[in-house]
Homo-oligomer: A and B are copies of this chain.
Amino acid sequence: MKTVITVAIVEDKEPIRQSLAILVDGAEGYSCQATFENAEAALDYLPTHAVDVVLMDIDLPGMNGIDCVRHLKALCPYTQFMMCTMYDEDETVFDALKAGANAYILKRSPPHKLLEAITELHEGGAPMSSTIARKIASSFYTSQAVSPELEALSSREREILDRLAKGHSHKEVANELFISPTTVRKHIFNIYGKLQVHSRVEAINKYLGRK
């Protein structure tokens, strides 16, 4: 049996929307079921007319493509979402993935690549433009240089900082470790010195590596 991959397109610019639709419909094995010029229309239609793959522009008038995916993902669990955008900015990429996007390609990709990507996506892959893929892979890399500052902490200091990070007060930590609250405060003071910060939240951010 021949499997046809059903596709929907969300893109506000008329010419781009048209050419994408023609590209998809013209290729064997693909069928463009619907096109929308904004997120709201897609949210209205797709939950009751599920398709295999949605090509989603990010920069839309009104609700943006990322929020649109976030909503649709919950309503159409079997639909795959491919973000299609002009830009490859860091935050946008990660926000899209967090929202549930399964693929992220740049509009400047050649048409045949687009069709390949749709197939790959439908077969369980996660096609990404190469620069995007590199960004994502790199995001996991934490140069094992845990920042020399953290290395300077003694094990006791680390234990205390860890409990502070859980939201405990110095009194609570004192009780947990069976030491005086003053001692805990002294440790905290020393920790601040080593990490070169002046508040609890700053220390915790350094400890947990959030910048």
Q: Is A100 part of the contact surface with B, judged by Cβ < 8 Å? A: yes
Given A165-B201, A169-B199, A201-B165, A133:B125 Cβ within 8 A? yes
A143/B74 in contact, CB under 8 A: yes
Rounded to whole angstroms, the CA-CA distance of A136 and B100 in the bound complex is 12
Given A124-B130, A165-B201, A200-B201, A99:B136 Cβ within 8 A? no
Contacts of A99 in B (CB 8 A): 141, 144
Copies assembled: 2
Interface residue tally on A, bucketed by range: 35 or more
Q: Is A174 part of the contact surface with B, judged by Cβ < 8 Å? A: no
A201/B164 in contact, CB under 8 A: yes
Q: Which A residues form the contact surface with B (CB < 8 A)? A: 70, 73-74, 94, 97-103, 120, 123-128, 130-131, 133-134, 136-138, 140-145, 164-167, 169, 197, 199-202, 204-205, 208, 210
Task: List 12 interface pairs A-B (beta carbons < 8 Å), by A numbering.
Answer: A94-B140, A100-B143, A101-B137, A102-B138, A124-B131, A126-B134, A165-B205, A166-B205, A200-B200, A201-B204, A204-B204, A208-B210
